[in-house]
Amino acid sequence: MHDISRPLTPGHPTWPGDAPYRLEPGARIARGDSVNTGELRTSTHTGTHVDAPWHYADDAPRLEEVGLEPYLGRCRVLTVRAREGLVGPEALEGLPDMLPPRLLLHTGQPAHWAEFPEDFAALSPDFVREAARRGVWLIGTDSPSVDPLTSKTLDAHHACREAGVLILEGLNLSAVPEGDYDLVCLPLPLVGADGAPARAVLLPAGTLPEVP
């Protein structure tokens, strides 16, 4: 099993302008309380997280309307490299015409972010469309976003929506060999949300029953 979630440590960097990640003490046994508790504050897009389509389109589904099925089942981990900041459709050359429905992209991000990475590999809309043509309906990336940091038009996000592709961002694929696996990705069940942090693991291919 590969845990491909980013640990949420104190000071974990978040998207510029988002609420910082904080885990603060609540009750403490050492102070006479019967239990230890904590108070959590963070953005819905901290660390490893899913984007609900409502994140980038007001008339699109919110998180609870997406369901869990897209995040469970056969996937492929693929190492890709960007040209001028974008991963293009040429990254899929030489692969079968039909791919597993979930495609996880290792762009070279490290296992730990001491600071928020501002220079990362984003996706071109043509890459999204070509992946969708090959049967992909979930794209995951180790980058913090499928679009560049400074993008205001969010071309890759909207290409995903138009192609019926969901988005999983902020993975840790630094120690995962290329190949086919079964993905188990469980976003927090936040009702009415635009996204949520998630725990994601890879199991040997064939571990899970086939999901349509």
Told to judge if 55 belongs to the known catalytic residues of this protein, a careful annotator would answer yes
Instruction: Name the catalytic one among 12, 55, 106, 112.
Output: 55
Gyration radius of the chain's alpha carbons: 17
Check whether 157 is labelled as a binding-site residue. yes
Check whether 15 is labelled as a binding-site residue. yes
Secondary structure of the chain in HEC code, one letter for each residue: CEECCCCCCCCCCCCCCCCCCEEEECCCHHHCCCCCCEEEECCCCCCCEEECHHHCCCCCCCHHHHCCHHHEEEEEEEECCCECCEECHHHHCCCCCCCCCEEEEECCCCCCCCCCCCCCCEECHHHHHHHHHCCCCEEEECCCCCCCCCCCCCHHHHHHHHHCCEEEECCCCCCCCCEEEEEEEEECCCCCCCEEEEEEEEEECCCCCCCC
Please give the annotated binding residues for substrate, written as ranges.
15
Please give the annotated binding residues, written as ranges.
15, 45, 49, 51, 157, 169
Please give the annotated binding residues for Zn(2+), written as ranges.
45, 49, 51, 157, 169
Provide the annotated active-site residues: 55
